[in-house]
Amino acid sequence: MNPTQPQGRIDGKVWLVGAGPGDPELLTLKAVRVLGTADVVLVDDLVDPRILAHARPGARIVEVGKRGGCRSTPQAFIEKLMVRLARRGATVARLKGGDPFVFGRGGEEAETMARAGIACEVVNGITSGIAVPAAIGIPVTHRDTARGVTFITGHTRDGTGPDWAALHAGGTTLVIYMGMKRVDSLANSMIAAGFAADTPACAIQNGTLQTQATVVCTLATLAASIAEAKLGSPGLLVVGEVVRHAKPAALLLRQLAA
């Protein structure tokens, strides 16, 4: 028993649950089971509301959305709330888009729960870095053209970027999260580091959803193509030869309507 808790008080538990890339049908069976047992669900802004149909009847739903450029719930507040609820004996599901451990701050939250002595488990979700390119026919790896895939964030706490020259030398597919608002700077930095201007590239907004929108172009024209198509967040950038596998727009529209 935790000596800081009143006599007879049993700590609850925190689940870090991945909701997948958007499409509710891509939710895992384990995520459905956990949502059906949680007393409180702390839900991120990018989670499709239809997923909450799996929550236990009577569960408390708390929106703690975080989206770049918009007013967000502070991360410190979310973590304190998770600790407070669990110490009161609640089972807490922290529901996040994609996978909690892929640019989802799940690692930070797991560390906070460990320091507080609260049981915490992760329910992995399908990350958008794999599912969203697949939704338009792009395999992030391919035996002929891509030896691997590298996930990158386009938004960092200190504003620094990755070693683009090293990434170019690595020859992997690049999947960039949270890069839609900095795409011009990102593309210019990549070309300056040695990436060919005509490297295939694409941007995908609202991937796996009915509102999915895509542009397929080159690295040099990526920023202009996104602006012309009026794409925005949430979106994903993919750079590499595998982009040549993207399905034609007409075919994608028919599949989304099916």
156: exposed, middle or buried (C-beta count within 10 Å: 0-12, 13-18, 19+)?
exposed
What amino acid is encoded at 161 in this protein?
Answer: G
Task: Please say whether the dihedral angle defined by the alpha carbons of residues 88, 36, 48 and 234, taken in this order, is positive or negative.
Answer: positive
How does strand 200-205 pair with strand 213-218? Answer: antiparallel
Query: C-alpha angle 114/120/124, rounded to 5°?
Result: 125
Whose CA is closest to 34, among 122, 106, 118?
A: 122
The residue annotated as part of the active site, out of 11, 39, 44, 99, is 44
Told to judge if 13 belongs to the known catalytic residues of this protein, a careful annotator would answer no
The residue annotated as part of the active site, out of 11, 39, 99, 178, is 178
Whose CA is closest to 117, among 209, 14, 26, 47?
A: 14
The residue annotated as part of the active site, out of 11, 13, 39, 66, is 66
Told to judge if 48 belongs to the known catalytic residues of this protein, a careful annotator would answer no
How far CA 182 is from CA of 23, 176, 189, 191, 226, in Å, comes to 26, 11, 11, 14, 11
Told to judge if 180 belongs to the known catalytic residues of this protein, a careful annotator would answer no
Centroid of chain to Cα 126: 9
Which residues are catalytically annotated?
44, 66, 178
